[in-house]
Amino acid sequence: TGVLPVFVDEVAATPAPRVSTAATLEADRVSAWFGQRKVLDRVSLDIPAGRVTALIGPSGCGKSTFLRILNRMHELVPSAQLAGEVRLDGQDIYDPERRLTDARKAIGMVFQKPNPFPAMSIADNVLAGLKITGTKIARPDREALIEESLTRAGLWNEVKDRLKQPGSALSGGQQQRLCIARSLAVRPRVLLMDEPCSALDPTSTRVVEETIGEIAADVTIVIVTHNMQQAQRVSDQCAFFLAAQGTPGVIVEHGPTDVVFENPQDQRTSDYVNGRF
Ligand code: ADP
Ligand code: MG
């Protein structure tokens, strides 16, 4: 057989490394109150770029509140008060000089209950986030963005022949992937997911987990989950939140997911991940 004249150095030099748009998030001593009631106490967490971070812990310990603080969504609750800092690639997202829409564009959110606009077409649902965040896109580029976003969300093949149907025509699992596509169309640098699979059947859950694995290189993921197997399947690092009776939520332990699950340093972490409360 013939040997091709390949120059090893050239082969090694290509292809050029792809530039990831994933960003780091740092929560620095974040405390939160609803009115007089303190619900988070000096929570600090470094969220590395291009990785999946899972937030776990019992109901009511402040996971959703913390997640919302990471993209200023808690500001929709008038009684919410905040102390501490959140930095996106080192820049304070609460800096008064920065616009709210900059944070929202860079940091997308997916909720537990799929919430596509039911009467809007599948295609328009994908583009809806652009309108909400004031992101402009030239008309000729729209179709490509719709295909790209739906493909990244693992939904393209199922909907490519019916893009004009309403969002409500889809199953629950498809609706959730449509919501993921809607977030991805804005090309966020971080995607926050609050129990995104809690309302889904096991098959849809698997597809969403695969999607998370595929997009994580380009989009930093923070996912709240009550499913310990899911946390182990999808996450690189894990933070365990807890609010002891009557006290605000804190992070008891955080670290690489295999350490948190297999060799937890705190007895309460061990009890929680092993289903003892
Ligand atoms: P988790 O997501 O871990 O279940 P949450 O962040 O939803 O916890 O809630 C943390 C605490 O804050 C709970 O005690 C909850 O009752 C309270 N809380 C959440 N949202 C609000 C709100 N909009 N107004 C007042 N209290 C709230
Ligand atoms: Mg919650």
Residue 277: the pLDDT is: 87
> Could you give the C-alpha distances from 54 to 10, 233, 255, 259, in angstroms and in order?
40, 10, 10, 13
CA–CA dist 99, 143 (Å, integer): 29
Would you call 137 exposed, middle or buried from its count of C-beta atoms within 10 A (0-12, 13-18, 19+)? Answer: middle
CA of 149 to the centre of ligand 1 (A): 32
Q: Is 77 in the pocket of ligand 1 (CB under 6 A)?
A: yes
Per-residue pLDDT of the chain (277 residues; tens, 9 = 90+): 555 555 555 555 566 666 789 999 999 999 999 999 999 999 999 999 999 999 999 999 999 999 999 999 999 999 999 999 999 999 999 999 988 888 989 999 999 999 999 999 999 999 999 988 888 899 999 999 999 999 999 999 999 999 999 999 999 999 999 999 999 999 999 999 999 999 999 999 999 999 999 999 999 999 999 999 999 999 999 999 999 999 999 999 999 999 999 999 999 999 999 999 8
Q: Is 59 in the pocket of ligand 1 (CB under 6 A)?
A: yes
Residue 42: the pLDDT is: 98
Tell me how crowded residue 51 is: count the other CB atoms within 10 A of its CB.
16
Could you identify the atom of ligand 1 that is nearest to the CA of residue 57?
3
CA–CA dist 53, 46 (Å, integer): 10
Residue 15: the pLDDT is: 61
Which pTM value belongs to this model? 0.93
Tokens of 83: 């102390």
Could you identify the atom of ligand 1 that is nearest to the CA of residue 68?
6
CA–CA dist 267, 262 (Å, integer): 12
Rounded (5°) CA angle 142-108-93: 120
Residue 255: strand pairing partners: 238
**How would DSSP label each residue in 219-251?**
SEEEEE-S-HHHHHHH-SEEEEEE--TTS-BEE
The H or E element spanning position 122 is helix 122-132
Sign of CA dihedral 232, 233, 234, 236: positive
Would you call 41 exposed, middle or buried from its count of C-beta atoms within 10 A (0-12, 13-18, 19+)? Answer: middle
CA of 68 to the centre of ligand 1 (A): 11
Could you identify the atom of ligand 1 that is nearest to the CA of residue 77?
23
Complex ipTM, two decimals? 0.99
Residue 3: the pLDDT is: 57
Residue type (1 letter), 153: A
Residue 4: the pLDDT is: 56
CA–CA dist 52, 237 (Å, integer): 7
> Could you give the C-alpha distances from 130 to 183, 196, 215, 257, in angstroms and in order?
9, 21, 19, 34
What is the DSSP-derived secondary structure letter of residue 120? S
